[in-house]
A and B are shown apart, each in its own frame.
Chain A
């Protein structure tokens, strides 16, 4: 009988072998790959929801979707993009790259790593299943303000709450793992101030995650008890205060914004020196700027709430604190430009995305400064100007950052070079798409078009048509991106170990594709090892 069991184990169905390999893997590269594919899938789902929004807004009037379903589209688009596309993509990159960049054999807590990932598919199944439920999906916007989400929320709100709890647990555990890895598994000689900036920015992001995801968990728990267990945290009739919800939410929400951008800063800081063939300008100031941005992010949440009836003194405090963030951010932009200055630049696809990141993220930063001004914000609040602003920081910031990273490291992951011509087409089409989609929103917003409403006045028709055409183009370019990635995985020119002529750092010392296990014995760090 024992022989029977033995042979059965050996001749397991390949599908079972495949499943158990990916379900039970504790390898940081495989988990990184899982994260990246999941985020890619969710990126397409959330993108499809955005296509629904733009299709409806292509013309004034209500053509395609019911107003309530429109609200569900907006809510789910935001939630899935933030928690499903951007955050897991960055965690996937961290998993793949951080151990290789600091010369560690793996993440410090590999089983926890597997657990953090496998929570996510279930969390998003829960969240997305609400789209098919009676009463519809959550329809109160990704910010789920009380009382919209408490008193007036649809029954599926509870699925949303449990989903957010699970995503939160996944992020917190992932962040703990990253910090512990960086603090304990660096190769000898890899001091903190020698770490590549991607590692630095992720270290700071991980601390932000650990400090604010529990606050989000607290907020949704209060919602849950308000809805079902008779508490009244946010219910004025029981002595609570709905404005307090906004304070708690944005105490989480503003650091969350930086969680979605800091790893992007790190990626740009890796790529630009490579293709400028110069060392990063102002490494130390980059680190300090990142730390200051992270610390300031805890004291600016009120700028989302200028119109809630805050007293003048509070508005002034939040306004000045917000504008202060422009200083370290300016330091970063200056350093990137100074790195390129008189460099021997070439413009491969990762570099194009990185430069696009710097330029368009800065546009989003400037509109952010406009929104930070209290008197101006009263006009801009809840208009499409805000939509234009945060899409300019998130699309060219988080998404272009991720794409730059994928093109940059894809040869290391797959052992093949991607198709440079297609990559360049992807970049230019996406850049045109981003600007065509989001730039007109500045104008419709300044002219007073409110956000989160299914219909709009006739005078906004032209701007909206432009945005919708741009959005469809942008959607198509991402299908091209998927094609390029699959094509690279399946074949292509062999990548060398260093891949890029100007690339420096430990990840470029291992063969391409990177073997399953790297740095089982710690590498030796040169005295003047590059950052």
Chain B
């Protein structure tokens, strides 16, 4: 009888451990998902760090359309738009475009732009040499400015991708806060 009791207790314990483990697995999915997306660029997050290496030999016979989009997050009183709707670019050549931003509020606000590329696979091939999204912006009340992004498209961009969109969303941040976000961009 006690042999059965021990077995019961062991099985119950093992199954409880399995349940707790699966609860942990749900949380483990978060870093797994992020790592997976970082490696593959699947969720449109660009690789992040500044690319210093000079572009390789440009692909002469290829043109790619880049569309620029700008959004502000909910409750962010900024006006934010690209100065050019789209550009035809040659992979491997550096381009610079500018985004217009104005603080419509009566107080200084700090913003952080977060880029996203569609289709997701293209994210790894869009290299930013310089970008306003690498830093936070502090805009005084009513202040306006132009923010530049310098980039090139890697000539290795898969053949079937002819158009990609680069979208920025500006989020309101407390100054010098959210270092996590900045690091991961």
Residues of A within 8 A of B (CB): 108-109, 151, 172, 175-176, 179-180, 183-184, 210-219, 222, 233, 236-239, 241, 243-244, 247-248, 251, 309-311, 314
B61-69, B100-108, B117-125, B135-143 - interface stretch:
B117-125
Number of A-B residue pairs, CB cutoff 8 Å, is: 96
Q: Which of B18, B74, B119, B172 has a CB less than 8 Å from the CB of A309?
A: B119
Q: Which residue of A lies closest to B185 (CB)?
A: A239
Q: Which residue of B lies closest to A183 (CB)?
A: B11
Q: Which of A184, A213, A219, A237 has a CB less than 8 Å from the CB of B11?
A: A184
> B118 near A215 (CB under 8 angstroms)?
no
Roughly how many angstroms separate A233 CA and B73 CA in the complex, as a whole number?
A: 17
Mark contacts of B61-86 with chain A using CB atoms, 8 A cut-off: 1 yes-contact digit, 0 otherwise: 00000000000011000000000000
Contacts of B40 in A (CB 8 A): 311
Contacts of A236 in B (CB 8 A): 73, 114, 169, 171
> B8 near A180 (CB under 8 angstroms)?
yes
> B23 near A218 (CB under 8 angstroms)?
yes
CB distance from A39 to the nearest CB of B (A): 23
Roughly how many angstroms separate A163 CA and B19 CA in the complex, as a whole number?
A: 18
> A215 near B23 (CB under 8 angstroms)?
yes
Q: Which residue of B lies closest to A216 (CB)?
A: B26
CB distance from A303 to the nearest CB of B (A): 16
Interface: B184 (CB within 8 A): yes
Roughly how many angstroms separate A175 CA and B120 CA in the complex, as a whole number?
A: 40
Roughly how many angstroms separate A210 CA and B20 CA in the complex, as a whole number?
A: 9
Interface: B29 (CB within 8 A): yes
Interface: B178 (CB within 8 A): yes
Q: Contacts A239-B184, A310-B42, A311-B120 given: A184-B19 contact, CB under 8 Å? A: no
Q: Contacts A172-B19, A179-B15 given: A218-B114 contact, CB under 8 Å? A: no
Roughly how many angstroms separate A172 CA and B171 CA in the complex, as a whole number?
A: 40
Interface: B54 (CB within 8 A): no
Known: A210-B18, A214-B23. 8 other contacts (CB 8 A): A108-B8, A175-B15, A176-B12, A210-B15, A214-B21, A215-B26, A239-B180, A309-B120
> B42 near A176 (CB under 8 angstroms)?
no
Contacts of A109 in B (CB 8 A): 8, 12
Interface: B110 (CB within 8 A): no
> A248 near B120 (CB under 8 angstroms)?
no
CB distance from A518 to the nearest CB of B (A): 19
Q: How large is the interface on B (under 10, 10 to 19, 20 to 34, 35 or more residues)?
A: 35 or more
Roughly how many angstroms separate A223 CA and B157 CA in the complex, as a whole number?
A: 37
Interface: B52 (CB within 8 A): no
13 contacts between A and B (CB under 8 A): A151-B74, A184-B4, A213-B19, A214-B22, A218-B25, A218-B26, A222-B26, A222-B27, A222-B30, A241-B37, A309-B44, A309-B118, A309-B119
Q: Which residue of A lies closest to B18 (CB)?
A: A210
Q: Which of B15, B20, B26, B33 has a CB less than 8 Å from the CB of A219?
A: B26
Interface: B97 (CB within 8 A): no
Roughly how many angstroms separate A92 CA and B13 CA in the complex, as a whole number?
A: 24
Roughly how many angstroms separate A210 CA and B22 CA in the complex, as a whole number?
A: 8
> A238 near B178 (CB under 8 angstroms)?
yes
> A237 near B171 (CB under 8 angstroms)?
yes
Roughly how many angstroms separate A314 CA and B33 CA in the complex, as a whole number?
A: 14
> B119 near A311 (CB under 8 angstroms)?
yes
Contacts of A310 in B (CB 8 A): 42
CB distance from B127 to the nearest CB of A (A): 20
> B8 near A210 (CB under 8 angstroms)?
no
Contacts of A216 in B (CB 8 A): 26
Which of A212, A216, A309 is packed against the most chain B CB atoms within 10 Å?
A309
Q: Contacts A241-B33, A309-B118, A311-B119 given: A176-B25 contact, CB under 8 Å? A: no
Q: Which of B7, B25, B42, B172 has a CB less than 8 Å from the CB of A314?
A: B42
By Cβ-Cβ distance, the 8 closest A-B pairs, closest first, are: A218-B26, A214-B22, A214-B23, A237-B171, A215-B26, A176-B15, A239-B181, A180-B11
> A247 near B29 (CB under 8 angstroms)?
yes
Which of B4, B22, B33, B119 is packed against the most chain A CB atoms within 10 Å?
B22
> B23 near A311 (CB under 8 angstroms)?
no
> B27 near A184 (CB under 8 angstroms)?
no
CB distance from A384 to the nearest CB of B (A): 29
CB distance from B130 to the nearest CB of A (A): 22
Contacts of A222 in B (CB 8 A): 26-27, 30
Roughly how many angstroms separate A210 CA and B12 CA in the complex, as a whole number?
A: 12
Q: Which residue of B lies closest to A169 (CB)?
A: B19
> B118 near A248 (CB under 8 angstroms)?
no
Contacts of B180 in A (CB 8 A): 239
Roughly how many angstroms separate A310 CA and B22 CA in the complex, as a whole number?
A: 25
> A214 near B7 (CB under 8 angstroms)?
no
Q: Which of A172, A184, A314 has a CB less than 8 Å from the CB of B8?
A: A184
> B181 near A238 (CB under 8 angstroms)?
yes
Roughly how many angstroms separate A239 CA and B4 CA in the complex, as a whole number?
A: 51
Contacts of A239 in B (CB 8 A): 178, 180-181, 184
Contacts of A219 in B (CB 8 A): 26
Q: Which of B121, B169, B181 has a CB less than 8 Å from the CB of A311?
A: B121
From residue 143 to 185 of chain B, which have CB atoms closer than 8 A to chain A?
169, 171-172, 178, 180-181, 184
Contacts of B18 in A (CB 8 A): 210-211
> B26 near A248 (CB under 8 angstroms)?
yes
CB distance from B142 to the nearest CB of A (A): 24
